[in-house]
Structure 1
Amino acid sequence: MLMVSEGKGLAIAALITSIVGTVVGVVVFFAVVSASFNIALGGTDTTVKAPAGSASAAPSQASAATSKVGTPDNPAPLGSSVVSKDSL
């Protein structure tokens, strides 16, 4: 591992650099994975706009209170625009 002509200082510097690089790599990996989980599973600011001439029936107040528009319980009308703010 140690070469006679290089000395111990270069070997120690290389060892410290590899340890610091490993720690930084692990921290960056977990930050990226955490951000991707937040984007994939977290809530978003998505809004659904119904088309101008749609004659959709208004859902009852009990149904509207329990689910947002665009869910399986309260689907959006055909032709609706779905607008989302991109978090990246």
Structure 2
Amino acid sequence: MTESTSSLSREEALYAVCLLAAFADGGASDDERKELKRIGESILPPEMHPASIYQQVLLRKVDTRRAAQGLDSPEWRQLAYEMAI
């Protein structure tokens, strides 16, 4: 993901959904931040940087619609749902 208009990979989209869900309540504890970092590091390939997606979400360059577009199968959508709750 290099531009705000480029499409997200499945992994980026999944991580974006996790971030969007975490930020929905307006708060973020240190424990929540650590867990988000752990999730990003576990689902993203090494060449993808969790901080980049984190920044895109915070700057509202990625919204739920764009993130959902990257989840191109029922399995990926189910995984995103499970991780978001």
* Structure with greater helix share of residues: 2
* Structure with greater strand share of residues: 1
- TM-score class normalised by the smaller sequence: under 0.3
Q: TM-score, with normalisation over the residues of structure 2?
A: 0.19
Q: TM-score, with normalisation over the residues of structure 1?
A: 0.19
Q: Give the greater-gyration-radius structure (CA).
A: 1
